[in-house]
Structure 1
Amino acid sequence: MPTNKHALSATAFSLGAALILSSCGNSDAPAAQQASEKSSAFIASYADDAAVSQQALADAIAPFFENPEMSETRAVVIMHGGQVVAERYAPGYGPDSKLISWSMAKTVTATLMGLMIADGRLALDEPAPVSEWRQANDPRNKITIRHLLHMSSGLDHTEGVEPGNPNPIYEADTPRMLFLDGRENVARYAETRPMEAKAGEKFEYSSATSNILADIMTRSLTDSKDPAVRRDAMLEYAKGRLFEPLGMNSMTPEFDRSGTMLGGSMMHATARDWAKLGEFLRNNGSVRGAQLLPTSWTRFMRTSSPNDAAYGGHLWLNKKRPDGRNQVLFPDRAPSDVFALLGHLGQQVVVSPQQKLTIVRLGKTPDDKLDPVNDQIARVINLFPKK
């Protein structure tokens, strides 16, 4: 496949500042000078041999950064047919900037779980191996890994303050787990919660669920309770089986003090590396001709769960949600096989397999103000031809 040629541009926001960088190379300017230039200029790159013209790509990306309705966009990367065809970064950010995942981490966790199941370490439909749940009369012993991946464990987890609830945000499970009484051991906090429904009956989106999966994976790798051993075992597996084969060299997961990966919300990577994960899933678990993940697993991830058609195996799908739930993507404006990694404040990796397209948008937009961002992503999708 031919290498794309890029036209590079950088636009200064203050007098005397201009920055022209290769999207892959490094400037020879001194570090202090580069930092000064970065603070006053954005970096943009558009392929001149893409299916969409450079001008059309530039025009489609510009609103993410220039329309105040979209708040703060920090990075946009578009890959088409496996090649980066467009990218732009806000002042102060660039191709090497690691940006937080928030809930996009959940899809990383699910991908790692698929690798572990393929390796024979765990099983999708057997009771989840959590010691806290092993008593015969404990209803939690009916929870499977499939239930957890579908956000249908039945555990009493509350991601945030629900409409009409007068309680403050810090009383919700996720803030308590990550920042207050659960922060020392997020898995213990999540796993000791009682049931509020039978396993498999109710959809309840929660970061606590993903942290349970992270703990299960870690314990399949080591019996040690030493936080450093647990952390290193999980990190070594993730790097060796996923991050390094995909070339996601910037990917940096966070861990709690017990050594459990914060698999529901806290991983950091460059926009390009987030795009590589989207491409990996678009290619059904294959990279450079090597099938790392069984196609049956990516099919599972991209298939609607029983309790919410718009949610698969820790992956959002371009389907209509049940009545009373907020729509997350755009089922009337883009192909039905579109899927996405979505995170707090508008972190998005949106993939359209029909168009061989992966779009990354990272930034800081309030969750209740994301409609303009979603609308623009739908417009970008529709620029590209369907096969």
Structure 2
Amino acid sequence: MTGDQLELGAHVPEGPDTYRFHTADGVASVEAFRAAELLLLRAIHGTAPGDHLSVQSNYGVVGVVLAASAASVRMTEASARRARLCRRNAAVNGAAARTTVVADLRRIDGGYDTASYAPESHTPIEVGKQRIADSLTALRPDGRLFVAATDGAGRSRYERCLTELTGDCRTVTTADGCSVLVAQRPASFEPPRYVTPTRFEVGVDGAAVPLVTVPGMFAAGRLDDGTRLLAANATVEDGDRVLDLCCGAGPLGIHAGTVADCSVTLTDDSRVATRAAACSLRAAGIDGRVVTADGVNGVSGERFDRVLCNPPTHAGDGVLASLLDGARRVLRAGGVLLAVHHRDLDFRPHLRGYGSVTVRDTGDEHVVVAARP
């Protein structure tokens, strides 16, 4: 993955004089620090953070810097790719901070003294509110939650949410259109559910495929045209070992397991997606395997006859190159990668390592390519 290395002066006696952070395609704010994360640091430093929980840590700025003054730091991320950067940046800076890949904060142990969260602008409000509610659950009674948000990221709605959940919310600092809000967990607290799964069934190339999605996922509540076109060209046969790479809710893997007596493995960078895919597999009655990993990292020692991939083209060229080259490495001799992309994109630079690349099908907006090692 392509990326940058950013430097941050500490300006405090604890820790190194300068922090260094590696970034990469697929994270928020590759070329500069997020203002919301820097404002969180400014608000929390000097407040005795105690045992600290950094929620959706991106590449680890808040957790790594706070590790010098906190009793302990735990960083969480729903993305395996971002979590890997968090671990790398903690090691580079000598920070005693652990990282956990998790979609549901209710699954982690509680009792934290402080927590921090900086919602991104594209985060659905209900998802951000759920993370706030679950962060409060992870705190001890009277523990403090710091939330940094801009108006564009829903600051006013998060402020109302915090007030409704805790009875009290105040602004501790504001700069450059971003505010840090703080609230204390009540002694008695039962988190509401803001995010509920959507269960539905779609027809894919003549086969019924049940799916489960949640807000924030790609094509939540529907099957996108690119995936539908790819499924129609999957040509899976009995006995094949099939990898659904960037599986999302799992429609390609489930379709493969429905039309052929094959083994299916589904993998995605997002723990949110793989949890949904596991639910989709159960609904379909298919005995597949689901792995949360960055690209093919979770299956690097295996070989497959078919790799089906509708990649996240918005994540950047570095992510695309890593995904498609990784698919080549896990194909057996004679295997094939079937990938779909928008007609306006040129995938040829990312497929140069393959022996042959052909166009399998063309739709109104998408192209399916077949690539063989």
The normalised TM-score by structure 2 is 0.24
Between Structure 1 and Structure 2, the one with more strand by share is: 2
The normalised TM-score by structure 1 is 0.23
Structure number with the bigger relative contact order (C-alpha 8 A, sep ≥ 6) is 1
